[in-house]
Structure 1
Amino acid sequence: VQKTFRSIVENPRHIFKLTIQGILVGIFSGLMVCLYRFLLNGSEDILRHYLTIINGNIFYIVLFFVFLIILGLLTAYLMRWERDAMGSGIPHVNAETKGFLDVNWYKTLFAKIVGGVFTALGGLSLGPEGPSVQIGAMAGKGVSKLFNESKTDELRLILVGSAVGITAAFNAPLAGVIFILEEINHGFDKTLVFIALVSAIVSDFISKMIFGQSTALTFPISNIPLSSYWLLIVLGLILGFLGYAYNVGMIKAEDLWAKIPNLSLEVKFVSVFLVSGVIALLMPEISCGGHYMLGLFDVAVPSLTLLLIYFVGKYVFSIFSFSSGAPGGIFLPILVLGAYIGAIFASIFIPICGLDNVLIYRFIIISMAGFFTATIRSPITGIVLLSEMSGSTESLVAMLVVCLIAYIVPTLLGNEPIYESLLERLLNKRQHEYTPEPSKHVLSEYVVPLECKYIGVEIENIPFPKNSIVVSVIRNGSYVIAREDFKINYGDQIHILTDVNDFPYANREIEQIIYDKKQ
């Protein structure tokens, strides 16, 4: 136990080796995500250019729908070939880091990139960021396989690659690192944070070399008067309820797809692509991930009527597209919906309160962070992400107010974060498919929260799984070999050693014990 512990935690050479691997993950994952981003941008440009030349020509329209049928069939074939490329990909990464999946990294990498190109050409309302997380994670796993790393470090490099996915997709390195801590890892591993930051900086440099250094949002900045801060409370409540409705709608839509008898993957995807084609002809603004809808704000904010039409259309189309299981994410659609909620809210309340019209852009940015929080339930990631996307930290306090309220509302309503719901559904589908691996050790880290009921209790009296061993605790920056009579305290970082085959179930038990989750 002590040998394993020292090799993974204490050995400076090991940390140096992980840092080199982190740089390699930053290069490989960054290039893969940038390639994906470049291909999706090109695919969306091709689709929108074709829509402009159709111009009522029956032959071109028929040709368009024939093309969509082919895309649907190709996507179905690709997803049958590698089913772990379906959907967003973030639940798959989450499941892998918890030990429930062992995905084929190069097949998933290829299928995710090609499948994303197909859905972009078809105009489905799917974002690139969720898939970018999985692409980065699989590239990180590829680097770990190259070095034949331990299972512990393989999981670390998968998480590092996930951070690269957010970084390269948004040019937001800090948000990428926070995302893996807040949404996937649910803990603070200093080694992981250090390597992830190194990797994120490398990938951010690559991304900016290819796509430029400008921020994703270039809206004018103006401060909301303190006397009007009560509007933020109202906005937070609205975002909380709409986020709840979005999450419930997404799960209900998945259930509806599942209830259709004898529905093959080919028929499902062809149907989705054909519906997407109709929407592209009737309302092209809401097609694809949402960059075009955000771009409308660069010219002028649409009228309130158009804002409402675009919002409702995007809301329904996003749920329809994602619930089908087509390869693509909801990250960008969620941000776009948040932007339009903010624009609608500001269009109503700015004239009523006599505020400056330029404040509409401030409400748009704040609302994007708030709706992200209401659906994904990662407020810190949302705040940092929008600060990096807008290149400004002047909205931090306003975003904090809105995000906290938007977080509380769906939580009080008993709604789970969307990615946690999707993870549970994925695990339910795969619960009988777990394949034992050759025996290896996994060293996991858990941070003791303030509400842990075992604070002050000896390790021997804490009902940890019998197939796991508490090997060390970090307290006040010092490593301590944990003995049976050692009492845990708030803020302790506990290292627990588990066999890789026991890890999925032991990890869940340990989280229930330490974080007092539902049992």
Structure 2
Amino acid sequence: MKTLEKTMKSVTENPKYIFRLTVQGVMVGIFAGLMVCLYRFLLYGSEHVLRGYLTIIRGNVFYIVLFFIALVIMGILIDLLTKWEVDSSGSGIPQVYAEVKGHMEANWAKVLFSKIVAGVLTALGGLSLGPEGPSVQIGGMAGKGVAKLFKGSKTDELRLILVGSAVGITAAFNAPLAGVLFVLEEINHGFDKTLVFIALVSAIVSDFISKLIFGQSTALTFVVPNIPLEHYWLFVLLGVLIGLLGYVYNVGMIKSSDLVSNLRMPSWLKFVLVFMVSGVVALTIPEISDGGHFMMDMLDIAMPSLGVLVLLLVLKYLFSMFSFSSGAPGGIFLPILVLGAYIGAVFGSAVVPIFGFEQDIIYKFIVISMAGFFAATVRSPITGIVLIAEMCGSTESLVAMIIVSLIAYMVPTLLGNEPIYESLYDRLLLNKNREFVRETSKHVLSEYLVPLDCNYINFKVKDIPFPKNAIVVSVIRNGKYIIPTEDFHIKYGDQIHVLTDSNDYPYVREEIEELFGG
């Protein structure tokens, strides 16, 4: 009963609740921001160590042998870490998604330790994996740790996990708005005013910490000139191309992951082989090693020839697919942006001489293609557009990014392809080795927004087939809280609060999202 009262007070005593949650949001911003910045700092250091060592060992057989012995040890350590904490494998974003949906209950402290250590090892090994997916999980688990410290309700815990996830993107890219939008668009799949407010507070705090450590310069320093309006039709062509390549990327990533998971070999041997191949790649084609910072720097220093751009694009895609399919801790966020940049560079290098554009116009296509490829693969176009705008520190390419992103979003959608993170989430839940462990009964208050195309608009609450183990406790309409009766009519834009048991929450949420078309 006390747990129920605590959850209900989050609605009836809203001002006090918001203040308390804001304080916790500041704590999440500090703790999660520091954890993600530590992870980011260690990864940068690891990549520099790897590239420095590669310059030393060339032509020295003894050093090369030592390098491959170290890679074998790294592979074994990754295997041990992912067995010790299974939730630390892979990207991290599907795990956060599953946790928020109620299908997982991760140990936040173990995930933090394992994810950070394993991420450093994958960076030292040169695998083509990015830091941003793991940063989302690190931020989310830091948020969960703060929630455990304050011993709040399960509802508060889920909100702080989402807030921490926003910190992950913020601290990784110095992009607070993109961090909040990513959580709303990709993980929460809904608009929760309280969540937005607390996430913004936390994101600003973490962004300040990140800029204190890494500086205030934007992630991208490209000069982006304008393209003549009469040539805007090229963006339509680019959008279609990116959409098709996004479809190929998603299909390839899932197929390769399924193929590797079906191989009958010990997990330690799989990781050792992946690290050994990564070592060969680092020695022969070092440009495509690590998450992609080196490839981005190449574009900024001097634009390679068209043939080199195509070659690096194809090889980076294949190596990213190979690295991720192993299940090693690491993300695909940065590799997606790098591949998008190289698609734009290839497209720009092809059309610039044809139409007689200035050479710098290529950078326009690079920036736009990064947002477009993000929309084609992740299927979160708003996040992608805002993220690239924040990374560039400019909104000059906003209209062009919108055109390309919308078309790139539509093409794979029309082809029946699922967003990459949703596909990975589905595969995570289908893992036969994972079972949802029932925990001590707690109440979860979840919020659902009634969309314009909902089939139950103007229906009475009693006539809507809500799950039997769920109670509609309140509705926010035009900023006012309403305690609904059975005869209360649901309207478009209503924010409906539903109370359920934490053990029923995963299934209740799925049923209600299906009711409202979520």
Taking structure 2 as the reference length, what is the TM-score of the superposition? 0.98
Aligned pair 1:363/2:348, yes or no? Answer: no
Match of 2:354 in 1: 352
**Partners in 1 of 2:346 and 2:267 — Cα distance?**
37
Q: 2:280 maps to which residue?
A: 278
Partner of 2:398: 396
For residue 54 of structure 1, report the CA deviation from its aligned partner.
Answer: 1.3
Deviations 1:290-314 (A, max 9, x none): 0000001121111101101110010
Q: Counterpart in 2 of 1:166?
A: 169
**CA–CA distance in structure 2, aligned partners of residues 338 and 393 of structure 1:** 18
- Residue range with higher mean Cα deviation, 10-19 or 368-377: 10-19
Aligned residue runs from structure 1 range 294-305, under 5 A: 294-305=296-307
Q: In the TM superposition, what whole-angstrom CA distance separates every residue of 1:194-227 from its partner, at most 9, and x where no partner exists?
A: 1100100000000000000000000002111111
Give 3-state SS (helix, strand or coil) of 1:87's partner: coil
Contact conserved, 2:7 with 2:155, CA < 8 A, in 1? no
* Cα shift readout 1:101-156 (whole Å, capped 9, x = no counterpart): 00000000000000000000000000000000000000000000001110000000
Q: Does 1:43 align with 2:46?
A: yes
Structure 2 CA distance, aligned partners of 1:489 and 1:234? Answer: 41
Q: Distance in 2 between matches of 1:165 and 1:478?
A: 32
SS at match of 1:498: strand
Q: Please, which runs of 5 or more residues in structure 2 have no aligned partner? A: none
Equivalent residue in structure 1 for 2:180, among 177, 181, 186:
177
Give the aligned partner of residue 377 of structure 1.
Answer: 379
Task: Say if 1:271 and 1:74 are closer, same or farther in 2 by CA, change over 3 A.
Answer: same
Contact 1:2–1:471 (CA under 8 A) maintained in structure 2? no
1:432 positional shift:
5.9
Paired amino acid for 1:92:
Q
Contact map agreement 1:33 1:136 (CA 8 A) in 2: yes
Shift of 1:430: 5.5
Q: Is 1:81 aligned with 2:84?
A: yes
Cα distance in 2 for partners of 1:161, 1:7 equals 20
Q: Distance in 2 between matches of 1:412 and 1:369?
A: 19
Q: Which amino acid aligns with 1:353?
A: F
Paired with 1:326 and 1:13, the residues of 2 have a C-alpha distance of 43
Residues 1:512 and 2:518 aligned together: no
Partners of 1:156 and 1:102 in 2: how far apart?
14
> Does 2:87 match 1:69?
no
Q: Is the 8 A contact 1:51 1:281 kept in 2?
A: yes
Structure 2: how far apart are the matches of 1:199 and 1:145?
17
Single out whichever of 479-488 and 69-78 deviates more from structure 2: 479-488
Counterpart in 2 of 1:335? 337
After superposition, residues 367-446 of structure 1 pair within 5 angstroms as 367-429=369-431, 433-446=435-448
1:90-129 equivalences under 5 Å are 90-129=93-132
Counterparts in 2 of 1:207-226, with a 5 A limit?
207-226=210-229
CA distance in 1, matches of 2:390, 2:14: 35
1:150 to 149, 153, 159: 153
Q: SS of the counterpart of 1:470?
A: strand
Taking only the aligned residue pairs, the percentage that are identical comes to: 69
Aligned equivalent of 2:498: 496
Q: Secondary structure at the match of 1:56?
A: coil
- Give the structure 2 partner of residue 188 of structure 1: 191
In the alignment, what sits opposite 2:59?
A: 56
**Relative to structure 2, which stretch is displaced further, 279-288 or 473-482?**
473-482
Question: In the alignment, what sits opposite 1:27?
Answer: 30
CA–CA distance in structure 2, aligned partners of residues 468 and 438 of structure 1: 18
Alignment match of 1:135 (pick from 138, 147, 150): 138
Task: Note the alpha carbon deviations across 1:424-458, whole angstroms, 9 max, x for none.
Answer: 11011158611111111111111111111111111
Shift of 1:9: 5.7
Pairwise CA distance, 1:380: 0.4
In structure 2, give the amino acid aligned to 1:377: R
Runs of 4+ in structure 1 off by over 6 angstroms are none
Aligned counterpart in structure 2 of residue 242 of structure 1, from 241, 245, 264 = 245
Spell out, residue by residue over 1:166-218, the C-alpha distance to the aligned partner (whole angstroms, 9 max, x if none). 00000000000000000001111111111100100000000000000000000
**Alpha-carbon displacement from aligned partner over 1:404-433 (angstroms, at most 9, x marks no partner):** 000000000000000000101101115861
Contact 1:25–1:143 (Cα < 8 Å) also in 2:
yes
Q: Is 1:289 matched with 2:321?
A: no
Q: CA deviation at 1:3?
A: 7.1
Shift of 1:51: 0.6
Q: Identify the residue that residue 455 of structure 1 maps to in structure 2.
A: 457
Report the secondary structure of 2:278's partner residue.
Answer: helix
Task: Give the distance between the partners of 2:485 and 2:326, measured in 1 at CA.
Answer: 51
What's the CA shift for 1:8? 4.1
> For the residues of structure 1 that align with 2:246 and 2:12, how far apart are their CA atoms?
40
Task: Give the conservation status (yes or no) of the 8 Å contact 1:124–1:289.
Answer: yes
Cross-structure match for 1:314: 316
| Structure 1: unaligned runs, 5 residues or longer | none
Structure 1 residue 240, shift from structure 2 partner: 0.4
Q: Return the alpha-carbon distance in structure 1 between the equivalents of residues 433 and 113 of structure 2.
A: 25
Render the CA deviation track for 1:343-398: whole Å, top value 9, x for unaligned.
00000011111212111111100000000010000000000000000000111110
RMSD: 1.2
Query: What is the alpha-carbon distance in structure 1 between the residues aligned to residue 318 and residue 10 of structure 2?
Result: 51
Distance 2:135 2:448 in 1: 27
Change in 2 beyond 3 A, CA 1:147/1:430: farther
Once the two structures are superposed, what CA deviation does each residue of 1:239-281 show, in whole Å capped at 9, x if it has no partner?
10000000000110011112212x1110010000000001001
Is contact 2:250-2:420 (8 Å) kept?
A: yes
Contact 2:372 2:408 in 1 (8 A): yes
Match of 1:12 among 15, 24, 36: 15
